Amino acid sequence: MSGISYNDLVTNIRNYTEVDDTVITTAVLENIILNAQQKIFLDVPMDSDRFASQGTFVADDNTINVPAGAFFVRGIEVFESTANTNGVGQWLEKKDQTYISEYIGKLTGSEGDRTAQDVTGLPRYYSMFGGATGLGTTTSGGIYVAPTPDANYLFNIYYNKMPATLESSNQTNYVSQYFPQGLLYACLVEAYGFLKGPMDMLTLYENKYKQEVQKFAGVQLGRRRRDDYTDGTVRIKVPSPSP
């Protein structure tokens, strides 16, 4: 099965379920397709979902925004330079917020009297906080760093985000082109769930989806993350009948 467009996917869903637009309306179909894409996105981290964003720390400010639309952060690289990223970067270690608080402050005076003793320098650690409303509604949260930057160091954030979704105004995307069968089966699972059965058909397409997602994950998390020179050729044992 080659790539599939949004319109073809809509036609296939109605053909497989044998119902028309009076039962599964366009609005319901759009929700079914969106839910299926979200399921695939959560089940298989794909290279197509990987992004990088460059920014600059503000001196004496230990927070930065997570790039808009980011689902999770894979790593943060900081450069000692404030002009370019040609030098060797330093990867920050991810810690809990409590660790960051302990690192930059200490208890002084009477018990419970906390006075921040800000430690400044090139950041070494980071932690996540907030959600879609953290540091502004256009972000996906915020990041604390420690030590607090003492200069406008450059940084790269590597993260995954939900790709452009398949819809009437966007006829194809990575999943529809490279995982069309899995997308169709995921949609049929959602469709039969909406139709409340038949249960045997729901189970059939759930199993078909699981089979396809295992193969797709094998490519995304296996073959695409290795090469023959450094990792060796992938060898798959093929059973043969005994002589």
Express each pLDDT in 189-222 by its tens digit.
999 999 998 999 999 999 999 999 998 888 887 7
Does the structure show a pLDDT above 80 at 52? yes
Domain ranges of the chain: 6-46+164-226, 58-152
CB neighbour list of residue 86: distance below 8 Å, 6 or more residues apart: none
Q: Which token pair is 130?
A: 């907030």
Any idea which of 28-42, 138-152, 170-184 has the lowest mean pLDDT?
138-152
pTM of this structure: 0.77
CB neighbour list of residue 204: distance below 8 Å, 6 or more residues apart: none
Q: Distance between CA atoms of 71 and 63, rounded to whole angstroms?
A: 18
pLDDT digits (tens, 9 = 90+) for 106-148: 434 344 444 445 788 999 999 998 765 544 445 678 899 999 9
- Do you know the residue count of the chain? 243
